[in-house]
């Protein structure tokens, strides 16, 4: 019989469940409110929506131009928008330049297309180091090596301007549907700290 205690993830889940139960018991929230919040973050906002936008931009040059010109409006065309997505700017990766985002003051982030910000994005270590030594942070912390020949550009999000990345389309995906392409797009690739998945 194991004497080990619960993992950090299990302990966090238990605390969240206890807090949820307490709020419901005290009438602060209802179970339907909790279900609605879960539905929003599972289906209505999140990286799966950003992946759909990226896939459309890869397959539709006119849409890509609109996305780079006014990301908020282009996303609205696809029914994507809302709180924390009012002023979005999309940065396109190229053979010569790779983009990554940070919020050095807090954790401003385009929630409608990327979902909730990951804990590391909010942490002081990432916020300070990605600005000073981006190539090293990408390699050491994320296992993502950007060739020396490629310039790394760091963009500082704020409450007035929330950046995210249009990564490069992987080779070997010509003729793919938007659904197939979206499956290759990761949250980290839209933050700029990781690659898209390679085509099989």
Of 75, 103, 157, 189, which one is the catalytic site residue? 103
Told to judge if 189 belongs to the known catalytic residues of this protein, a careful annotator would answer no
Told to judge if 103 belongs to the known catalytic residues of this protein, a careful annotator would answer yes
Q: Within a 10 A sphere around the Cβ of 78, how many other Cβ atoms?
A: 14
Across the strands, what pairs with 85?
A: none
Q: Which of 89, 86, 88, 126 is nearest to 104 (CA)?
A: 126
Q: Within a 10 A sphere around the Cβ of 101, how many other Cβ atoms?
A: 25
75 in a known ligand binding site:
no
What stretches of 80-174 adopt beta strand conformation (E)?
Answer: 88-92, 97-102, 151-156, 162-166
Q: Rounded distance, CA 72 to CA 69, Å? A: 9
72 CB-side CA count, 13 A: 13
103 in a known ligand binding site:
yes
107 in a known ligand binding site:
yes
106 in a known ligand binding site:
yes
Of 106, 158, 159, 177, which one is the catalytic site residue? 106
Told to judge if 2 belongs to the known catalytic residues of this protein, a careful annotator would answer no
* Coil, helix or strand at residue 166: strand
Of 75, 108, 157, 189, which one is the catalytic site residue? 108
User: Where in the sequence numbering do the catalytic residues fall?
Assistant: 103, 106-108
Binding residues: 103, 106-108
Binding residues for Fe(3+): 103, 106-108
């Amino acid at each position: 019989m194991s004497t080990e205690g619960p993992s950090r993830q299990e302990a966090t889940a238990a605390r969240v469940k206890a807090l949820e139960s307490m709020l419901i018991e005290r009438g602060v929230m209802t179970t339907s409110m909790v279900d609605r919040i879960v539905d929003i973050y599972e289906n209505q906002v999140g990286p799966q929506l950003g992946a759909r936008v990226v896939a459309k931009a890869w397959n539709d040059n006119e849409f890509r131009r609109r996305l780079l010109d006014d990301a908020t409006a282009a996303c609205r065309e696809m029914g994507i928008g809302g709180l924390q997505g009012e002023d979005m700017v999309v940065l396109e990766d190229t053979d010569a330049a790779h983009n990554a985002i940070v919020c050095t003051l807090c954790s401003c982030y385009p929630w409608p297309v990327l979902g909730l910000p990951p804990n590391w994005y909010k942490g002081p270590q990432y916020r300070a180091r990605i600005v000073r030594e981006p190539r090293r942070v990408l390699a050491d912390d994320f296992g993502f090596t950007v060739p020396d020949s490629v310039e790394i550009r760091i963009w500082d999000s704020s409450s007035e301007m929330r950046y995210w990345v249009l990564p490069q389309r992987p080779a070997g995906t010509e003729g793919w549907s938007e659904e197939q392409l979206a499956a290759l797009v990761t949250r980290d690739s839209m933050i700029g700290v990781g690659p898209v998945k390679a085509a099989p």
